[in-house]
Amino acid sequence: MTSTLNDSATSEHPITGGGDTVFDVRDVTLRFGGVTSLNNVSLQMYRGEILAVIGPNGAGKTSLFNSLTGVYTPQEGSIEVRARAGDSPTSVIGLKTHVVNRLGVARTFQNIRLFPALTALENVKVGIETRQKAGPISAMLGLPRQRREERESTEAAYQLLHRVGLERRANDIAGSLAYGEQRRLEIARALGTSPGVILLDEPAAGTNPVEKRELATLIQSINVDDGVSVLLIEHDMKLVMSIAHRIIVLNFGQKIAEGTPEQIQRNPEVVAAYLGTPADEVADLDLSQPELHRIDTGVSLDELVGQSSEAEHGATEHDGGTPR
Amino acid sequence: MTRPSDLLGRLLACLGGALVVALMWGPQEGNFGDFWFAINQSIFRPRVLVFLALGVVVFLAMTFWPKVIPYLTRPGVWPLAAGTLTVIASQTLMHWADQLGDAKFGTVASAVADTNGISPVASAFFGGLCWAQLVVIILLVGTAVIGGLRNFGWAAAALSVVAAVIAYLAHAAVADKARYLGPDHSLGVYVCIIGYLVLLVAGLVTAMSHQQVANTRLAVNRALGWRPGLPLVVIGAVLGIIAMASSTWFSPANLNSTLADTRSRFRGTGLAPIAVQYLAWLGWALLAVSVVLSGVASYRRIRPLGWAGAAVGWLGVLLTVLTLYRISDLGADKGQDAATGPWQNLGAGGWMACAALFLIGSGGYIAAIAPRYAERTAETDSDAVASGRSASSAFLTAPGAARSGIMIAIAVALFYPPTANGFWQSVLVSEIGIYVLLAVGLNVVVGWAGLLDLGFIAFYAIGSYTTAYLVGSLPVKPPSWLQMSPLLAIPFAVLICLLAGLALGAPTLRLRGDYLAIVTLGFGEIIRIVAVNADQVTNGSQGPSTQVPHPVIDLGPVSITWGLNQLQYWYLLLVFVLVVLLAFRRLEDSRIGRSWAAIREDEVAAQATGINTFRVKLLAFAIGASTSGVAGVFFASQVGFFTPDNFVLNNSILVVAYVVFGGMGSLPGAIAGAALLTWMPEFLKDQVPAADRQMWIGAVVLAMMIFRPGGLLPARRRAVELAGLQPRSTRLEPVAVPAGEGM
């Protein structure tokens, strides 16, 4: 059933050839009553890559995220994480969410989950401060250590806000920010926990084309400058094709394809999954064609106009580009 | 528009409602057998007209509400309403001369009318002028607001000052007539003057509206922020002059003496020189010097001068207290009346002077630490209003304004209680103070961490019983080396309560919302029932078998024994509350406080951000529990004897109500809520029948929840939640099913 273009059992990075996995997921099955959300899914994520997970709605992408972060506990299979280089592999199964986060796995949510009544700065500080040590006694007495940590977290939070372009809104209530700003604030909060790998759940949903370009730059900067591996769920094919090093395709809880963007675009089974037609009938279709974007992403008309010309461009750009 | 018959029905309903309220209000001296008497009392008295008038007002408000709304936002309307209500309350509900016994305003009025030789101002004031001047001011401000006639605003402002002076003179005349009856504890005139000052603000705001001020809140903010510290200096100066010039300082043998009278009374009695000098000129000098120093410092923004003003003002407080001690001590020695020691027979004047000097000094202090002008302009009012930050409330955001508010609160807490009578002093200690402490503790659990705890009073009980055990008042005696004085028991009680909090929290905090509330409710009842039934340990429903002793501090030269009067306990309690408040304020702004806010807002996101939600919730539980442990120690040693009935479920629910009423998650709110709702039943005691008291309190809580759901003084974070900037629910019940991959 799984038609991988690389042998998933080997721990060889298909592009860089590195053998260092961040996530090693083997044969994971997650069920809710009679519904099988993930069916025997195996995947490897390698250190330093941007790995995208795509698939139609209900394919199990977010369930995968929730299994990786300890929100859900899969019934079968194993998930091992080595978020930061040099960590020893740790099984995520059965761990609590905050413990997984402390292992270096940060995430954002599909429907934004900020702390809406706190300011933008406070939101980021909450993330940073989960790594601090000062307890309630030193907080109540205002001990030097507490003050130092407070100063440090404020500085770090301002830097992160600057990073995502929100430093001017530091003291505004998070709930009052615009949609795109909230998405970026969520990323800043996740980065505040100094992760080794960040899981972004549809970071571009509901953002405009300009914001999408900025987001692509930001994700690449997080990946390159901070050395954080990125696992990305995204419906916007242009974004995925332009920044992802590798793509995994899920459909009905199963992995149906895995490979570089250009391989995925030409994979008949992927095209079939998106169109709902048998694979042999669409063998000669190509995902880089604009009509298909309309079908699978449901993008609005104005986005489509900007996209139709750039989609080819984005794909070819990647063809020539050399991943690190 | 509504049909005339509907309008008629509505009017009749309003008038009927007014009659019902008129029947309910008042002493209700009849019974079911003597039904006619009650009706006679309540209806065939002129005061039924007041209630009927209220009914008409409600009718008009209901009918013309859409037309009224645009006017409500105009500058000056809210202070007009607040001032009017304050004046009416002071004139209908409060004592104007305590010596005359049950002297509400009405009784005073009739007493004055019957008195020969009373000053014409007083007889006019009590004979109807009081209402006339209020009505004129309301009409003036109302006309100014509706018609945009700013001169009327100026006139109303001027008239408010005149009215306040008349009220003061009238009260002084009555107090003078009744001076042979003892110290005057009445507050009516002061509340009345405050009401007129609010009306003064209404007049001024109306007069300066249009160009200068957009709305009342902004105007108040701007006035307070104009010269940080100056408002306090002005208030202090006014208060100081009243205190020095006319108030009672000393009243042995029920002779009310002002500052000058007291001086002549003590001439040649060997009073300590410092007190003599104070009475002669030093008091006035301290007042004048501190007013000048602090006033100039705040006006010209000279920081060193501000420190000087603070030093003189606060030193003046100490000297005043010393003087009061000297004169009352000597007065008691001379045996002029039944005084048994110092601090007796003192009038309100000395304490008012203390408050005045304290406020003036605080004004200087605020001027000294105020941000420089350049820093100040970075955060102007309009910016604050425009940004989302002030979505909650732009009130008291001006620099120094919040500090001014805190200083006034401290001045009241320090210097009001000595002037209150014995009844109110005991209410302050055993009701208001204790419940403020409990509410502040519960605020951590309910307000900050968002965990509904309905068994909070159990920790209070544990603290009380721990104290009783440690001082040896329970049937089970501690080993002799462990037996100790109540104050030393505090750390132990805190520790035990903390452990109890952990013991309750560890198994139950995995529950959420309603389930947690039920479990904590059960815990509270278990503790109480154990206390009732464990005869061998707790002495059952009798409570501790021997009295829990009063605290004693004995450090050789300094030796304090509590229990002589309520005031001592009040100041001890004040120390506890202040320490707890300082600690909690820091906690709120620390990583712990932010973690609490985070789990309250979105627990899933908090976990994903690395917060150990279980541990953080447990911490909130433990901190809340240990606070009530402190309250328990205090309670046990203050009352001496207590029973399990002091820890019934009702009290737990009341504490939750105080926190919610004050504004969840807000420290000032918790204090204000607890203070107001514990004060109210005591106040209503002689206003309405005992059985009706809870109903009136319920009505107040209901009104608050309808019109101001955030509570009295809502916390910024909570206010944003209630304002609904984020329409989606932040509450998350366990979502085990992947409903549309909702994560």
What does the mean pLDDT of chain B come to?
81
Give B344's pLDDT tier (boundaries 50, 70, 90). confident
Residues of B in Cβ contact (< 8 Å) with A33: 737
pLDDT at B726 over 50: no
Q: Is A313 on the interface with B (CB under 8 A)?
A: no
Indicate the residue type of A152: E
Cβ separation of B738 and A32 shorter than 8 Å?
yes
Residues of B in contact with A117 (CB under 8 A): 597, 601, 716-718, 720-721, 725
Sign of CA dihedral B633, B634, B639, B645: negative
| Strand spans (E) along B614-729 | none
Q: Is A142 on the interface with B (CB under 8 A)?
A: yes
The per-residue pLDDT for B37 is 64
- The pLDDT value given to residue A276: 64
pLDDT at res. A6: 42
* Nearest-CA distance A127 → chain B (Å): 6
B-chain residue closest to A104, CA distance? B610
Taking residue B171's Cβ as centre, other Cβ atoms within 10 Å add up to 23
Contacts of B374 (CB under 8 A, 6+ apart): none
**B622-638 residue pLDDT tens:** 999 999 999 999 999 88
pLDDT over 90 at A297, yes or no: no
Determine the residue of chain A that is closest to B734 in CA distance.
A71
Chain A residues lying within 8 Å of B720, measured CB to CB: 116-117, 173, 175
Q: Look at residue A307 and tell me whether its pLDDT is greater than 50.
A: no
Is residue B424 scored above 90 in pLDDT? no
Provide, as residue numbers in chain A, all residues whose Cβ is less than 8 Å from the Cβ of B727.
none
Query: Which residues are paired to A229 by β-bridges?
Result: A197
Residue B591 φ/ψ region, left for φ over 0, alpha for ψ in the -120 to 50 degree band, beta for the rest: alpha
Closest residue on chain B to A201 (Cα)? B743
Per-residue model confidence (pLDDT) at position B219: 67
Interface of B with A (CB under 8 A): 387-389, 391, 583-584, 586-587, 590-595, 597-598, 601-602, 604-613, 619, 623, 716-718, 720-721, 725-726, 728, 730, 736-738, 741-743
Q: Which among B389, B586, B743 is the nearest to A109, CB-wise?
A: B743
CB B474 within 8 A of CB B641: no
**Helix pair B348-369, B230-245: axis angle to 10 deg:** 160
Q: Which two tokens stand for residue A55?
A: 């698939």
A132 near B CB under 8 A = yes
| B chain contacts of residue A135, beta-carbon cutoff 8 Å | 592
What does the pLDDT average to over B349-369?
92
Q: A290 touching B, CB under 8 A?
A: no
Residue B40: what pLDDT?
Answer: 66
**Residue contact B743–A119, C-beta within 8 A:** no
Q: Which chain B residue has the Cα nearest residue A128?
A: B609
- Which residue did the predictor score with more confidence, B490 or B726? B490
pLDDT tens string B590-617: 999 999 999 998 999 999 999 999 999 9
Q: How far B598 CA sits from the closest chain A CA (Å)?
A: 6
Return d(Cα A237, Cα B68) in angstroms, integer: 56
Cα angle A274, A279, A285; round to 5: 70
Return the pLDDT at B390. Answer: 36
Q: State yes or no: ipTM above 0.85.
A: no
Q: Tokens representing B527?
A: 């503790």
Asked whether A125 and A153 are in contact (CB, 8 A), the reply is: yes
Enumerate residues 258 to 287 of chain A having a beta carbon within 8 A of any beta carbon in chain B.
none
Which residues in chain B are closer than 8 Å to A107, comparing Cβ atoms?
608
Per-residue pLDDT band at A323 (split at 50, 70, 90): very low
The answer to whether B630 and B577 have CB atoms below 8 angstroms apart is no
Q: Do B591 and A153 touch (CB under 8 A)?
A: yes
pLDDT value, residue A275:
66
Over residues A198-216, mean pLDDT: 89
More confident residue, B524 or B389: B524
Q: Does A136 touch chain B (CB under 8 A)?
A: yes
The DSSP annotation for A159-221 comes to HHHHHTT-GGGTTSBGGGS-HHHHHHHHHHHHHHT--SEEEEESTTTT--HHHHHHHHHHHHH
A170: closest CA of chain B, how far (Å): 10
Show the CA angle centred on residue B453, arms to residues B449 and B457, nearest 5°: 125
Residues B140-158: pLDDT tens digits? 888 888 877 778 888 999 9
pLDDT band at residue B692, thresholds of 50, 70 and 90?
confident
Q: What is the pLDDT of residues B277-324, one digit of tens each?
A: 888 889 899 999 999 999 999 888 888 999 999 999 999 999 999 998
Q: What is the pLDDT of residues A71-112, one digit of tens each?
A: 899 999 999 999 888 888 889 888 999 999 999 999 999 889
CB atoms within 10 A of CB B159: 20
Question: Which has more confidence, B102 or B261?
Answer: B261
Mutation choice for B interface testing from A100, A121, A132, A140 by most B CBs within 10 A: A140
Q: What is the dihedral of CA B163, B169, B172, B178, to 10 degrees?
A: -100
- Chain A residues with CB under 8 Å of B725 CB are 116-117, 173, 175-176
> CB A189 to CB B613 under 8 A?
no
In angstroms, the CA A123 to CA A33 distance is 36
Size of interface A-B (CB pairs under 8 A): 154
For A139, which of B590, B725, B741 is closest by C-beta distance? B590
Q: What is the pLDDT of residue B733?
A: 33
CB contact under 8 A, A32 and B612: no
Q: Which residues of B touch A146 (CB under 8 A)?
A: 590
Asked whether the beta carbons of B361 and B310 are under 8 A apart, the reply is yes
Of B387, B597, B609, nearest to A117 by CB-CB distance is B597
**Which residue bears the tokens 């961040």?**
A22
Would you call B605 and A109 a contact, using CB atoms and an 8 Å cutoff?
yes
pLDDT for B381? 39
Question: Which of A233-247, B109-123, B381-395 reaches the highest mean pLDDT?
Answer: A233-247
Instruction: Please give the average per-residue pLDDT across B231-258, as a whole number.
Output: 82
pLDDT at B181 over 60: no
Residue of B nearest to A125 (CA): B591
Of chain A, the percentage scoring pLDDT greater than 90 comes to: 37
CA nearest to B586 within chain A:
A140
User: Which of B586, B605, B743 has the CB atom closest to A140's CB atom?
Assistant: B586
Return all residues near B457 (Cβ < 8 A) that are at least 6 apart.
B438, B524, B628, B647, B648, B649, B651, B652, B655
Mean pLDDT of A46-68: 90
Q: Which of B590, B616, B735, B737 to mutate to test the interface with A (most CBs of A within 10 A)?
A: B590
Q: Please list every residue in chain B whose beta carbon sits closer than 8 Å to the beta carbon of residue A114.
A: 602, 605
- Higher per-residue pLDDT: B630 or A287: B630
Residue B354's pLDDT band, with cuts at 50, 70 and 90, is: very high
Taking the Cβ of residue A31 and every Cβ of chain B, the question of whether any pair is shorter than 8 Å is answered with no
Least confident of A127-141, B384-398, B452-466: B384-398
pLDDT of B64 reads: 83
Structure tokens given for B203: 């007049």
pLDDT at B43: 63
Contact: A97, B607; criterion CB under 8 Å: yes
pLDDT at position A200, please?
93
In this predicted structure, the answer to whether residue A8 has a pLDDT above a threshold of 70 is: no
* Structure tokens given for B101: 């016994």
CB contact under 8 A, A71 and B726: no
Q: How far is A89 from chain B (nearest CA, A)?
A: 19
Contacts of A115 in chain B (CB under 8 A): 597-598, 601-602, 605-606
Query: Which pLDDT band holds residue B44 (cuts at 50, 70, 90)?
Result: low
Q: What is the dihedral of CA B195, B199, B204, B205, to 10 degrees?
A: 100
- For residue B3, is pLDDT > 90? no
Largest CA distance in chain B: 91
How confident is residue A298, by pLDDT bands cut at 50, 70 and 90?
very low
Cβ–Cβ contacts within 10 Å for residue B664, how many? 26
DSSP designation for A253: T
Q: Which two tokens stand for residue B317?
A: 């407080």
Dist CA B562 CA B249 (whole Å): 25
Contact B608 A107 (CB under 8 A): yes
pLDDT level of residue B704 (50, 70, 90 thresholds):
confident
CA distance B702 to chain A (A): 25
Q: Kindly write down the DSSP assignment for every residue of A20-80, as one continuous string.
A: -EEEEEEEEEEEETTEEEEEEEEEEEETT-EEEEE-STTSSHHHHHHHHTTSS--SEEEEE
Q: What is the pLDDT of residues A136-171, one digit of tens each?
A: 888 888 888 889 999 999 999 999 999 999 988 888
Q: Which of B117, B115, B153, B112 is nearest to B129 (CA)?
A: B112
Chain B residues within 8 A of A116 when measuring between CB atoms: 601-602, 720-721, 725-726, 730
More confident residue, B41 or B382: B41
Mutation site for A-interface testing, chosen from B509, B589, B595, B741 by largest number of A Cβ within 10 Å:
B741
Contact flag A146-B608 (C-beta cutoff 8 Å)? no
Is there a contact between A35 and B387 if contact means CB atoms under 8 Å apart? no
Per-residue pLDDT of B569-588, as tens digits, reads: 899 999 999 999 999 999 98
List the single residue in A with minimal CA-CA distance to B619. Answer: A136
